[in-house]
Structure 1
């Protein structure tokens, strides 16, 4: 990363875009402490606490659990909001037995289960990397609406990496990353209105 300086107020959302290999995933790995930051290389703080002084940020793996349990008592979103109602009909409505590594589910079902599981924990920071890549347009829109609703109700901060730019249309700020540097920043409407900008070019090659 090269001279990157970003501040995300609590409860706001940030979108990261750029070509493959530009540095988006590196930023995420730094937040998740998969990459370390040596003294003198810069600082990354969460809630004012230097990330070097914290434990590893929890990362939800969609394959962790053998069971997908959607419980209204834990404030889970209704299954029909994320397109899981037809999936739950396979089992006993709210408990479905999955094969090892969820091999009996589609990629889209796995993504939706992962999203529901993440929202169950009511996180204050959500880091979302290509979370709707296997979903159709209407389901993607419903899922992103649900995530924004969670963020509003819980004052949660959201960071989204996306190649499908509909997922970042409502972000408070978008960063365009190129070779490890922030080359453009602004809202979706601001960036797409510049026909000579990097974001405009990316948007028109999606």
Structure 2
């Protein structure tokens, strides 16, 4: 079934975006079917959707944000930087059950969530514990804070660079992903990945 309740012979969930005119009951009804990826579009550029391949325990979610200036020009609030600590007074807390559930989610398509392949949320815990996680910019810091304290891996995508159509599907044996400025790559076989028109552009590991 597709996200709008119509038959979808491809086996891919076509998830339609949720706009600001949706009523609460309508929105709740649309979120009741899984997997569901609600998109709150930038209305100045029009709506878009994300397809999600069938995955029984994946519960993806997404949102868009617009910043008034380039991120490098925006000040980073001190309260946000203070939350980049394991013992920060955060309103949410990660737990072991969720950590294991996230790993199970990553295993479904064949990925091995260990070593360099562990969830980004686990990497953040280690990086903070070792004192190597630094503030980057407001957008990245917000995502890192939420991921660190909730235990959910979060990926950040620049929509000025990524291009639709968007789809969440497993990486293939031929696909790889450059995950840092030095050009290091990771193999994506079996890993949950967001793809744009050019290929994989985000995942819950790097």
Which of the five TM-score ranges fits, normalised by the shorter chain? under 0.3
The structure that is strand-richer by fraction is 1
TM-score by length of 1: 0.27
Q: Which has the higher contact order (CA 8 A, sep 6+)?
A: 1
TM-score by length of 2: 0.27
